[in-house]
Structure 1
Amino acid sequence: MSGSFSLPYTTDLEDSSHQVKPFEPPKKSSFEDTTLRFIIKYKKVVLLIITFVCLSLFTNVPFIPHFKSSTPKIVIILAANEGGGVLKWKSPQEWSVERSSIANKKYYAKQHGYGLTIKDMTIKKRYSHEWRESWEKVDILKQTMRQFPQTEWFWWLDLHTYIMEPQISLEAHFLNNLDNVTYRTLDNFNPLGLPTDIPYVDYSSPIDMIITQDCGGFNLGSFLMRRSQWSEMLLDIWWDPAMYEQMHMQWEHKEQDALETLYTTQPWIRERVAFLPLRTINAFPPGACAEQADDPRYFFKDHDFVVNMAGCEWGRDCWGEMESYKALSRKLHKRWWKFWQ
């Protein structure tokens, strides 16, 4: 037929480079390629997310939710005045003392996985209308217990304290052996001459508050409180405005005198309070308790756990004492190979 035609065909003798390749579907992009394209496309969003996570994990920036891997068993409460003076401008030495104290507590908390909350004492203004500035410890404890609802122990430290043995945890120091390192009655050490016994006290009750005594009585520069129904009731009564209004003019040491009164008169309070020797968590420098200068129970010795420069603002040099104990701590824990320090 004149109009016929034939289709082209190949033979095995033809060049193999002209062979038709079989159809292959396009390969799917890998996860890495997809992720990379997403990051490039939304780089501003990704950068914002990374910044937020870093702020949450590695800083204490306010107004940013901070993620925690677990609830700390112990939270340290430090009352500072980071915002400036309340009654007067702070001197450079006062700023230095504050920075040193805060850095010391941050380092210790990080070493042992404890929580740390720094309460700005400019809020003391909120109490000034009723002259209740020296009672803020009770209120701050109540706030902190609400802030850390799963934490068991809360350790209050005054600003003029310094942890001299940061390698020692509270558990190893005394918390794991409370019954053997604390004393529950005032038979052997009673500087105020409080009643040594009152009816209906059950000393087999668990310990919910750990304090020390100095030459002037109870000392609240360094003390611990365990979360419990007992603690909540004690804080409520301790903060009770009716009792404060009746007695605040008679109590020279404010909240410490109030606690001493409650301990003296209330069996349910006395039975859950335990005492540590002062030097266990609250050793004094020379100059504090001057009338008892020869009593070794009060004053700091090398390798005591905490030094409390109590009363240094009344005629002593807070900055000089803080710098002295900082230097001593570095010396006591200097590694033998760091000979250049």
Structure 2
Amino acid sequence: MHFAFPPRKTSNPPPYAVRPSRSTPMLRRNQLRLLAIIALGLLSFIFIASRLFRSSSGSAQSEYIPPGTPPVVIVTVLDPKGNPSFNEMVKQNREHYAEKHGYTTFFPNPADYPLKTAPVSWAKVPAMRHAMTLFPHSTWYFFLDVHALIANPSISIEEHITAPARIEELEIVDVPVVPPDSVIKTYALKGDKVDLIICQDHEGIGRESFLIRRGEWAKYFLDAWFDPLYRAYNFQKAELHALEHIVQWHGTMLAKLVLVPQRIINSFHSDRAGVSEANIYQEGDFIINFTGCDQGGKTCETVMRQYAT
């Protein structure tokens, strides 16, 4: 009788078939999801950084500006309880100039802003922010104090101040940002990178006449300046000392600021005490500032009327 023997095993058996792991596709999906999250976070960071710090000229070039948009908005805060003829003189001075150059004007009421117990001089800050909301496509916002006049209406703001090449020609470099002895000094900037143009006077930074360029930085700057903490701090000179603090100790502010000679945007009337001869108004100057004009028994309207245009 013959018995069937099982087939003899080979000494070189075939390799075992490896079954695919069910966890491999899941691991790959998790890795791809992680990479997608990282990429999205990186793109978000780049977008936010570019929005905040890109040059304003670059954003202006890429943004659609409707036809008829005024390139400059002149902002002056008027006291509705003040002398009506004085207010009208100031308004006409700005309006005639704006019409000549294709600009526009904005005369807000300080009562429209949440100043609470803060001095009314703080109103200039939300007023500039308000102007940016009303005229969102304009390029420059020019704050001019109620006690200042445009003395030479033939001068355009672009040619006189804001053209990039003109900014680079005017900017004052390597001086204390807050006179006389601040350790923080100004440095040279490209004209198209500048978003705040301001001057100094014998009291410090000249907050009575300045220009801000439209953009994310401008909104950030004004919001920081109007911070409730600063308004409640009771600075001796209110918004001026708050401004001097932020431009000295916050590098983001100084990185967009240039100082220009005072007589470019804020010549003083000869009756103002403590003013150096170099900064007193001379015929042909753009702006003449009459702060303190109600002293010595005179009214501001009487002093200013002879220079109104």
Query: What TM-score, normalized by structure 2, do the two folds share?
Result: 0.71
Residue 323 of structure 1 pairs with residue 305 of structure 2: yes
Structure-2 change in CA distance of 1:196 and 1:240 (3 Å) = closer
Q: Match for 1:309 among 290, 294, 300?
A: 290
Instruction: Specify the SS of the correspondent of 1:130.
Output: coil
CA distance in 2, matches of 1:203, 1:69: 30
Q: Match for 2:95 among 96, 103, 106?
A: 106
Map 1:191-230 to 2 at 5 A.
191-197=179-185, 203-204=189-190, 206-230=193-217
CA distance in 1, matches of 2:128, 2:188: 25
Structure-2 change in CA distance of 1:197 and 1:178 (3 Å) = closer
Structure-2 change in CA distance of 1:241 and 1:314 (3 Å) = farther
RMSD: 2.3
Which residue number in structure 2 is paired with residue 175 of structure 1?
162
CA distance in 2, matches of 1:72, 1:242: 34
What is the letter of the counterpart of residue 75 of structure 1?
A: V
Instruction: Specify the SS of the correspondent of 2:181.
Output: coil
User: Is this contact kept in 2: 1:212–1:275, CA < 8 A?
Assistant: yes
How many residue pairs were aligned? 240
| CA offsets 1:153-211 (integer angstroms, 9 cap, x no match) | 00011111111111111112122211111224425x8633222449xx88458110011
Shift of 1:291: 2.5
Residue 97 of structure 1 pairs with residue 86 of structure 2: yes
Shift of 1:320: 2.0
| CA offsets 1:274-308 (integer angstroms, 9 cap, x no match) | 112111111101222x234xx22221011111101
Structure 1 residue runs of 5 or longer lacking an equivalent are 1-67, 330-341
Map 1:212-251 to 2 at 5 A.
212-245=199-232, 247=233, 249=234, 251=235
User: Is this contact kept in 2: 1:285–1:308, CA < 8 A?
Assistant: yes
Query: What TM-score, normalized by structure 1, do the two folds share?
Result: 0.65
CA distance in 2, matches of 1:264, 1:69: 39
| CA offsets 1:289-341 (integer angstroms, 9 cap, x no match) | x234xx22221011111101112234453122112323xx6xxxxxxxxxxxx
Which residue number in structure 2 is paired with residue 4 of structure 1?
none
What is the letter of the counterpart of residue 195 of structure 1?
A: V
CA distance in 2, matches of 1:268, 1:297: 31
CA distance in 1, matches of 2:230, 2:305: 40
| CA offsets 1:28-51 (integer angstroms, 9 cap, x no match) | xxxxxxxxxxxxxxxxxxxxxxxx
| CA offsets 1:202-259 (integer angstroms, 9 cap, x no match) | 84581100111110001111110001221111111111112332x2x2x222111111
What is the letter of the counterpart of residue 74 of structure 1?
A: V
Instruction: Specify the SS of the correspondent of 2:137.
Output: coil
Identity of aligned residues (%): 27
Which residue number in structure 2 is paired with residue 58 of structure 1?
none
User: Is this contact kept in 1: 2:189–2:258, CA < 8 A?
Assistant: no
Instruction: Specify the SS of the correspondent of 1:304.
Output: coil
CA distance in 2, matches of 1:167, 1:203: 28
